[in-house]
A and B are shown apart, each in its own frame.
Chain A
Amino acid sequence: MNEAIRIEKLTKSYGKERGVIDLDLVVEPGDVFGYLGPNGAGKTTTIRTLLDLIRPTSGRCWIFGLDCQKQSIEVHKRVGYVPGELALYPKLTGEQTVRHFAALRGGVDMGWVMELADRLDFDLKRHAKAYSSGNKRKLGLILALMSKPELLLLDEASGGLDPLVQQELNKILVEMREAGSTIFFSSHNLPEVERVCDRVAIIREGRLVAVEGVDDLKAKALRRIEIQFERPVPATTFEGLPGVQDVEVQDSRLTFTVLGSIDSIFKVAAQHTVNNVVSHEPSLEEVFLTFYEGGTQDAS
């Protein structure tokens, strides 16, 4: 049993509130694994159970073969964690915070901490209460990354980061993966998960809906596309194309939904004069409604 994460029949209920239900999930070492679901789906519950911050109602989970409940200290030595709702000690500076938590790990490479701070454009000298939410998140990332953990649990970790920093973070994550780390990345943002991850589990209302490769997910990508032509173009021009649905024409503007590749659409559109194209990424809910409504698939 050397999977990075193994979750078996995990159920966590909070009275009437939903947690997670009968969850089975395996993450292999070296995976950059996306954990995708809308807010309140059970992502944070899963991660906090893995860290033994909350106890399962039933079921078990392991990290690198270690029981998350019974061997939590051993598990914690190998895991870096960024909480979704990150709270820091307001009276400590960034550097003091790093030193305190580093001491709890028995010390870390401070050179690496400085490099991380530099790359994430983070000033360690200020007090935590003076940090913006983006800066707090950077400090949270530094704390999680500073020990070069074998497994990173990131709960909505890149929210509030500006795009450049987010890019740098993605680079760091790629380097970590190349160095052998496993990354478990929870998010409610589909494009973000597509950019970063190799495999994705989709969770909704506490239940695992699907586990897929990112490429498969992309093939299922549903886009709403709007093309503004110079002159009106009949709907029939596009209606027969693969994956195209719901074609609507309004004067010279044509809108439709397309599943998967958009190549054939542009080949056809190019035969006319195109003034503008707008593509809308689907919301997670739309993806769920289109593909996963009703049934659940086995996680494997």
Chain B
Amino acid sequence: MLASVFTKNLYDMRRGLIWWSVGLVLTNLMIVLVFPSIEESSAALTEYMNNLPPAMTALFGDVQNLTTMEGYLGLELFGFFLPALTLGFGIAYGGGVIGSEEDTGTLDLLLSYPISRRSVLTQKFGAIAVFALLVLVTSTIGLLLGIAMVDSTVDVANLAAAVLNVGLLTLVFGTLTLALTGVGLNRGAASGIAAGLAAITFLMNSLAPLADLPDAVRHITPWYYYDASEVLLSGFVPVNAAVLLAAIVILLVIGLVGFQRRDIAV
């Protein structure tokens, strides 16, 4: 497990992998198991939600869809809750790629070995991508189990596409944090900025239509391309996923270039 920087980092994350998987499986199960009672009372809920101010419905999504599993998951899980959680580890680990080793000072020793900064960074990024993949696959299996338990069904292809988007969105903000540490910010500042941007862009995307802001405002937020709720209902949108992927690549390159040029702190 210690033969490369990539495997060492996965090895370091093994406990996190278990806890995040368990946590997300439980979260997914809990949300799915509530579905039958929501389904029953959906008429009353719809009426209630229709009386809420439009700003609230804009934030929480369209309640009309609560009667189907896809609509329910899109609203309750993929709309905010799940990505908010996965962004948590994305930002934490993204900030740690350079940040934690630089803070503790092990980066000095590591980079004195015959391994390039680019290789260190990409291997660590790869470890996070694999981590995200494993956590999301495990939690999706939990989700499918829950759906079977409540005798419901879901379009598996759409679900897979939505989960893929969660992974991409997580990596966008994780790589943003990585890029910020790459250009020289410390871990705390980078994580704070990334988390702040995640929240601001979420609000921009949700509230732009209400605030009469031009649609272009939404198009600069990753959440617009993420839109897993819509993917669950209508299927995979390759262009949107490609935009998220491009953002990850661009941020990774910024991180690499910044890291390549700067001094390593002691």
Contact = CB atoms under 8 A, between A and B. Distances in A.
Interface of A: 44, 48, 51-55, 72-74, 76-77, 79, 81, 83, 85-89, 91-92, 96, 99-101, 103-106, 140, 143
Interface in B140-179: none
B258 to A, nearest CB: 13
B112 A79 contact: yes
A105 B114 contact: yes
Interface in B236-266: 261-264, 266
Nearest to A89: B106
9 contacts: A55-B262, A55-B263, A81-B112, A83-B109, A89-B106, A96-B2, A100-B2, A103-B2, A143-B109
A76 B112 contact: yes
A104 B115 contact: yes
Interface in B117-147: none
A140 B106 CA distance: 11
B2 A99 contact: yes
Given A55-B261, A83-B105, A103-B4, 16 more contacts: A48-B108, A53-B112, A73-B116, A76-B114, A76-B115, A81-B109, A81-B112, A83-B108, A87-B106, A91-B12, A92-B2, A100-B3, A101-B113, A103-B3, A104-B4, A105-B114
Given A87-B104, A87-B106, A53 B263 contact: yes
A227 to B, nearest CB: 45
A170 to B, nearest CB: 23
Contacts of A54: 263-264
A85 B8 contact: no
Interface in B32-58: none
B111 interface: yes
Interface of B: 2-5, 8, 12, 104-106, 108-116, 261-264, 266
Contacts of A101: 109, 113
A148 B2 CA distance: 21
Contacts of A140: 109
Given A54-B264, A92-B2, A104 B108 contact: no
A78 B109 CA distance: 15
Contacts of B109: 81, 83, 86-88, 101, 140, 143
A51 B114 contact: no
Nearest to A144: B112
Nearest to B5: A104
A162 B266 CA distance: 26
Contacts of A77: 114
A232 B180 CA distance: 73
Contacts of A74: 114
A40 to B, nearest CB: 12
Contacts of A99: 2
A53 B116 contact: no
Nearest to A53: B264
B108 A87 contact: yes
Contacts of A51: 111-112
A96 B108 CA distance: 18
Contacts of A91: 12
Contacts of B4: 103-104
Contact of A88 (B8, B106, B261): B106
A246 B258 CA distance: 58
A73 B114 contact: yes
Nearest to B12: A91
B263 A105 contact: no
Contact of A73 (B12, B106, B110, B115): B115
A191 to B, nearest CB: 27
A53 B105 CA distance: 12
A262 B256 CA distance: 60
B38 to A, nearest CB: 43
A104 B264 contact: no
A105 B113 contact: yes
> Which among A87, A89, A92, A106 has the greatest number of chain B C-beta atoms within 10 A?
A87
Contacts of A105: 113-114
Nearest to A55: B263
A161 B78 CA distance: 56
Nearest to B4: A103
Most A C-beta atoms less than 10 A away, residue of B104, B106, B112, B114: B112
Nearest to B3: A103
Nearest to B112: A81
List of 7 A-B pairs having minimum Cβ-Cβ separation, nearest first: A87-B105, A100-B2, A54-B263, A76-B114, A81-B112, A104-B113, A77-B114
Q: Which of B3, B4, B8, B108 has the most CB of A within 10 A?
A: B108
A54 B2 CA distance: 27
Contacts of B264: 48, 53-54
Nearest to B15: A91
A143 B105 CA distance: 16
A77 B114 CA distance: 5
A73 B115 CA distance: 6
A291 B4 CA distance: 50
A82 B108 CA distance: 10
A56 B227 CA distance: 47
Residue in B106, B108, B113 with the greatest tally of chain A CB atoms within 10 Å = B113
A51 B266 CA distance: 13
